[in-house]
Amino acid sequence: MSQSQVVVNPLQEGLRSERAGEPCAMVILGAHGDLTKRKLLPALYALFTQDLLPPGFCVVGLSRTQMTDEQFRTSMEESIHKYASDLKFDNESWERFASCVYYRSANFGSPGGFGELPALLSELETKHGTRGNNVFYCSTSPSLYMSIVDRISESGLGTRKAGTNAPWPRIIVEKPFGTNLETALELDEHIHSAFAESQVFRIDHYLGKETVQNIMVLRFANAIFEPLWNRNHIDHIQITNAETLGVEGRGSYYEEAGNMRDMIQNHMLQLVALTAMEPPISMDAEATRDEKAKVMRAMRPVDLNNIDKYVVRGQYTKGWINGQEVPGYREEKDVSPTSTTETFTALKLYIDNWRWAGVPFYVRSGKRLAKSVTEIAIEFKKAPLKLFAQSFGEDEDAFGPNVLVLNIQPDEGISLKFATKQPGPVTRLRWLSMDFKYGTAFGVRSPSAYERLVHDCIMGDSTLFARTDFVESSWKLISPILDKWQDPDCPPLDEYPSGSWGPESSDRLLGAEGRKWRLL
């Protein structure tokens, strides 16, 4: 279908073509779910209002629920008001956007379950000039991913046809990608039966966060940090992801996943890789992903015979968050009263390569902790001589060290802690912090992670998506730990009250080596 045959396309107006990808239809599988309402549709509408969607574009929502196009559009409009209040909404642009949004019910689990989707997509190709390119966004329960791939294959909508201008399919897969090494490999093989690796976009929304993208800019666009970024100058690295939220009605999902699969295997290991990777030879997607994959391959397997020295897990009990009493995990909806699912994990990891030999990476993540904060803290070695010992007083901690903190959220920015002399006739030292804050420095709205990632997929840029080898190595690290946890002789799960900083065993993980978690 050539562009000249396109009849009406309200999305074509005012596009900056250099920022828009190739025409396509975005098929959202699981369109009635929370993710679509909270993140995807708001992201697509935000891209539309910034003229960042391709000239030929439309959205097709699919899920089990019976609904008309009009009902789906109304429900999406309500969601945008509810969940994306930071977006500039105006009726005129919404009407134009909504006129390219469609809905069909489908049953992903049974043969023929896509129903009239193939016919609709070819009708929309003519109507909206999508050129037959389709992005399939899997926003369903992960248990349906394989069936979805079967439906795509049986409808002839997978695998790119021969020829440079032939229509392409792409697939976006939400985490968790598999539940262990074996299922991840199986899923990968299945997806590859219908899609080449270059057409697979494994989404990890942490990679779409502005501050996470800034890690590479900080490291590789500035010359001052890299010479210090290694075992000679860095004592250790702490990565914290703390949430005050509990499981928020996702009890049945969380019972299966737990913190390790929900946060560590994907988001946290991506942060480790970005912090530890070597400079890529270019900003090309594969060059960047090659370096991250190398970090994962160099990750030392956890010593399972001494697992308590490397990994601790905890589960929240009832407690207080922001002045409100909150229930324990086992009292949450859809959670077993005897559940042993971890809601907190702390790990000590080592990367056995030249740069990081002997430098521990401490990673912790948990729900119902005292504060919501995600950061990467690079703790440098202390100055070799305590020349100013008396100027700090007795407190040993007051000697530093210098810490460079990358604040991922909520106060996005970077800060560097360093010693300085207090004004006055005697030499008294104090640790201060030099801060850069995104909000005040730029004063513009940051795009949501989904806006960035959906746009990148439409552009065909996979830099910020997890590659198959990264996923495989991450499971090679995590799967044995999950298996060991099933072992009756493995140290049991520890409890921690909601509103605390996790179980005491987490402090012991660092304390055993004379270190402490940062006070946040």
Cis peptide bond upstream of 327, omega within 30: no
Q: Which residues pair with 379 in a beta bridge?
A: 236, 403
Residue 412 sits in the site that holds ligand BG6 (CB under 6 A): no
Using CB under 6 A, pick the residue from 125, 150, 188, 262 that binds ligand BG6: 262
| 386: Cβ contacts below 8 Å, ≥ 6 apart | 399
- Name residue, tokens 């802690």: 417
The catalytically annotated residue of 128, 205, 236, 267 is: 267
Q: Which is nearer to ligand BG6, 262 or 375 (CB)?
A: 262
Give the Cα separation of 433 and 424 in Å (integer). 20
CB of 494 to ligand BG6, least distance (A): 20
CB of 299 to ligand BG6, least distance (A): 21
Q: Which is nearer to ligand BG6, 243 or 379 (CB)?
A: 243
Q: Which is nearer to ligand BG6, 243 or 412 (CB)?
A: 243
Q: Which is nearer to ligand BG6, 133 or 214 (CB)?
A: 214
CB closest to ligand BG6, residue no: 262
CB of 262 to ligand BG6, least distance (A): 5
CB of 259 to ligand BG6, least distance (A): 8
CB of 425 to ligand BG6, least distance (A): 48
Give the Cα separation of 255 and 349 in Å (integer). 25
Q: Which is nearer to ligand BG6, 199 or 238 (CB)?
A: 238
493: closest CA among 340, 372, 371?
340
> Crossing angle of helices 41-49/69-83, nearest 10°?
80
Residue 243 sits in the site that holds ligand BG6 (CB under 6 A): yes
| 268: Cβ contacts below 8 Å, ≥ 6 apart | 239, 241, 363, 365
Say if residues 457 and 135 touch (Cβ distance below 8 Å): yes
Read out DSSP for 203-264? --GGGGSHHHHHHHHHHHH-TTTGGGSSTTTEEEEEEEEE-S---TT-HHHHHHHHHIIIII
CB of 421 to ligand BG6, least distance (A): 38
Q: Which is nearer to ligand BG6, 104 or 364 (CB)?
A: 364
Q: Which residues pair with 61 in a beta bridge?
A: 28, 103
Q: Which is nearer to ligand BG6, 410 or 511 (CB)?
A: 410
20, two tokens? 């828009």
Total number of residues that touch ligand BG6 (CB under 6 A): 3
Give the Cα separation of 457 and 362 in Å (integer). 32
At 458, is the secondary structure helix, strand, or coil?
helix
AA letter at 48: F
Instruction: Please list every residue from 270 through 289 that binds ligand BG6, using CB under 6 A.
Output: none
CB of 428 to ligand BG6, least distance (A): 39
Q: Which is nearer to ligand BG6, 262 or 456 (CB)?
A: 262
Read out DSSP for 374-387? EEEEEEEPPPSS-T
Read out DSSP for 50-105? TT-S-SSEEEEEEESS---HHHHHHHHHHHHHHH-TTS---HHHHHHHHTTEEEEE
Q: Is 416 exposed, middle or buried (0-12, 13-18, 19+ CB in 10 A)?
A: middle
Say if residues 475 and 184 touch (Cβ distance below 8 Å): yes
Does 455 participate in catalysis according to the annotation? no
Give the Cα separation of 213 and 220 in Å (integer). 11
Q: Which is nearer to ligand BG6, 11 or 264 (CB)?
A: 264
**By rule CB under 6 A, what string of x and - marks binding of each residue 356-375 to ligand BG6?**
------------------x-
Residue 451 sits in the site that holds ligand BG6 (CB under 6 A): no
CB of 210 to ligand BG6, least distance (A): 12
**By rule CB under 6 A, what string of x and - marks binding of each residue 191-230 to ligand BG6?**
----------------------------------------
User: Kind and range of the H or E element at 431?
Assistant: strand 429-437
157: closest CA among 186, 122, 127?
122
CB of 374 to ligand BG6, least distance (A): 6
Instruction: Please list every residue from 374 through 403 that binds ligand BG6, using CB under 6 A.
Output: 374
Say if residues 312 and 494 touch (Cβ distance below 8 Å): yes
Catalytic residue ranges = 267
Residues near ligand BG6 (CB under 6 A) are: 243, 262, 374
